Chains A and B, each alone.
Chain A
Amino acid sequence: AQSVTQLDSHVSVSEGTPVLLRCNYSSSYSPSLFWYVQHPNKGLQLLLKYTSAATLVKGINGFEAEFKKSETSFHLTKPSAHMSDAAEYFCVLSNDYKLSFGAGTTVTVRA
């Protein structure tokens, strides 16, 4: 069985400050992990993916994530938040045919 837990349902940051979104996973095999972003009334856009190459993964819009097998974590970070980062973020665990989504983290950015 596989599962994903996003540890924060809501994160609020000030513009220009760092963002940290936490994700833990459970998987009986070597995982493929993704982060997606969903802006209001939009579909899901891929931010980045981990597929057992480098443990530090860089994505679009300045986001990056670090895979830590010992901690079964795949946390997403960005050094400096922008107003356009306000959205919902999903951590996703995948095998060939099944995606398991976390419940999502809503990010608000204060001016």
Chain B
Amino acid sequence: EAQVTQNPRYLITVTGKKLTVTCSQNMNHEYMSWYRQDPGLGLRQIYYSMNVEVTDKGDVPEGYKVSRKEKRNFPLILESPSPNQTSLYFCASKVRGIGVGNQPQHFGDGTRLSIL
């Protein structure tokens, strides 16, 4: 089954304790991305990756890191989490393409992070 898998689904942690949220896709997609969802703001892009070893900042990258060493994995790293990073996080992937070739993104089920 084609899917994007995020782990963990839920995490409660404390300020300053490094954490990693993993994301894996089994569709051989070149493109992967991370979003955070906050009430009234929709989803905002944190980082994206066009392919292996190619990453770039989205709209809200501060406080986050990513890496893309393998095509299927795109972990999100919070080196020193703070309470304002409490949010619902989604990973997504898609085949690259523009115009009529622009394909929709496939989303994981989300990771709810609470940072105390």
Q: Do A and B share a complex?
A: yes
**A17 at interface by CB-CB < 8 Å:** no
- Contact between chains at A98 and B102 (CB < 8 Å): no
Residue A51 lies at the interface, judged by CB distance under 8 Å to chain B: yes
Taking a contact as CB atoms under 8 Å apart, the answer to whether B90 and A96 are in contact is no
0/1 per residue, B23-58, Cβ < 8 Å to A? 000000001010100001111110010100000101
Question: When the two chains form the complex, which single residue of A30, A52, A95, A101 contacts B42, counting CB atoms closer than 8 Å?
Answer: A101
Say yes or no: A30 contacts B99, CB within 8 Å: yes
Contact A52 B99, beta carbon cutoff 8 Å: yes
Query: Could you tell me the distance in whole angstroms from the C-beta of B5 to the nearest C-beta in chain A?
Result: 11
For residue B90, which residues in chain A have a CB less than 8 angstroms away from its CB? Answer: 43-44
Cβ contact within 8 Å between B102 and A51: yes
Cβ-neighbour of A97 out of B35, B44, B48, B108 (below 8 A): B48
Q: A43-B108, A44-B107, A90-B42 known; A96 and B102 CB under 8 Å?
A: yes
User: Which B81-116 residues have a C-beta within 8 angstroms of A?
Assistant: 90, 92, 96-102, 104-105, 107-110
* A-B complex: 4 closest residue pairs judged by Cβ atoms: A101-B42, A32-B102, A44-B107, A43-B109
Q: Chain A interface (Cβ within 8 Å of chain B)? A: 9, 30, 32, 34, 36, 42-44, 46, 49, 51-53, 90, 94-99, 101-104
